[in-house]
A and B are shown apart, each in its own frame.
Chain A
């Protein structure tokens, strides 16, 4: 199994700076995306620190098996997934400490969504409202549950999804990295299948484009990078109100040519 990656981040059409940050580690098959918040460009500092911390902790754990786990491990998921959650908890602590260390940085924080692939298994961990989607056999599902007030209201039954989309309170988060001393990280695991497409994105994409538009873009792109570029264009055409970042993963059979890839795409999307 081989993962083809495409990624892009864009300022959008309205903002003056980009507070999103992402990173792709091909060797480790580790993909991290973060959307920063906090005035005066502190969002940028928060998202970069979050991404760097997650990467460093995961890399270290691969090199040294005795790297301590930050926070509590869950017996429900694999060691790899626990490690990814540990990395995000550590990122939380680092951003929190930086925010507390000087008055200027007070209140800064970030969302984080990360995917780590080991053999065929995908570990997903996140805090906030940046999302992971899985597109399989023509159907796209959101893998992560948003940590936003409107999403919680929908889950509890107070709002319908349509009301949530129209709400003024969409950018109110219930969990973020860096805004409190400890944070609960949500995790999930799934086995990937050749033909799958995984999308990580900040809300700059999902506020400007609908899920069907996103799915259609993924299905009709011939490479992961083309998909990433087209998704950013889609967000900007929709208004580009916020920074937008995407990481697209396409799960392919090992070493194939262009036509082989097309065949596999068709076979598994039937």
Chain B
């Protein structure tokens, strides 16, 4: 099952299946493939089957028809051939491939690697909506109405309980600390808690904190009910309503 694919600047515009009747190409509206461009004659060329072969024939057009960059009047076509009419390209596709929406997306005007493009909000919404509808949701969940809190179990701090809000919570002696640790030798930043889209992560400062007795290796997500040890201070992490 063959077809002709009409392309312009690497974008697929149309596909025309090739049956037994000839396919005409030109500027006039009664062509099978109409190309509304001044470089194209009213009846520019046609493609038909003759004795089992696919043939392209130029209809005495002004600017000519080019097969794989060579100007032709009449020539046989094979799979993968490219016919240039004006600035439009017509590809000969003799193996029928099912075109899925994902493939169409890739064949759409893809910018050259060295060119940066900005997608406007409408295009972006369309591209992402289609895919989101097709399947997986992102990990973003609606804002929790439960407030993350730290309760002090042991140790010298300025308060017994702290509400965590904001992207950064510092545990230490520093002026910037939310959980202010007392003591001469306490580091300014003993540990920190960072808020990400998917939860709160405990990270190191000058000390490596423990979660439920185990020292962390890099930022570790905090779960409801976890116990945090920073030096001699023990905190309980909990989500409250």
Contacts and interface: CB of A to CB of B under 8 A. Distances in A.
Secondary structure class of chain B's binding surface, majority of residues: loop
A75 interface: yes
A191 B116 CA distance: 33
Contact of A171 (B115, B139, B203): B115
B205 interface: yes
A77 B192 contact: no
B144 to A, nearest CB: 14
B166 A76 contact: yes
A15 B114 contact: yes
A76 B165 contact: yes
A168 B136 CA distance: 23
A151 B159 CA distance: 42
Contacts of A194: 206
A150 to B, nearest CB: 11
Contacts of A107: 118
A139 B218 contact: yes
B218 A191 contact: no
A156 B136 contact: yes
Nearest to A35: B116
B167 A120 contact: no
Interface in A110-148: 119-121, 136-137, 139, 141
Interface string A155-186: 11110000000001111111110011000000
A121 B118 contact: no
Contacts of A170: 113
Contact of A120 (B113, B131, B166, B189): B189
A97 interface: no
B166 A190 contact: no
B115 A76 contact: no
Contact of B168 (A156, A190, A193): A190
A156 B204 contact: no
Contact of A157 (B137, B165, B203, B205): B137
Given A153-B131, A157-B135, A109 B106 contact: no
Contacts of B138: 155-157
Contacts of A15: 114
A142 to B, nearest CB: 12
B195 A76 contact: yes
Contacts of B189: 120, 191, 193
Nearest to A158: B131
B51 interface: no
Nearest to A121: B176
B113 A191 contact: no
A218 to B, nearest CB: 16
Contact of B176 (A119, A173, A180): A119
Among B106, B119, B175, chain A packs the most CB atoms within 10 A around the CB of B119
Contacts of A189: 167-168, 194
A157 B165 CA distance: 28
A211 interface: no
A88 B53 CA distance: 62
Interface of B: 106, 110-111, 113-120, 124, 127-128, 131-132, 134-139, 165-168, 170, 174-176, 188-189, 192, 194-195, 203-206, 218-219
Q: Which 5 A-B pairs have the closest CB atoms?
A: A157-B136, A37-B116, A189-B168, A158-B131, A168-B110
21 contacts: A14-B114, A76-B166, A119-B174, A149-B127, A153-B131, A156-B128, A156-B132, A156-B138, A168-B111, A168-B113, A169-B110, A169-B111, A170-B113, A171-B116, A172-B111, A172-B117, A173-B117, A174-B118, A175-B118, A188-B167, A193-B189
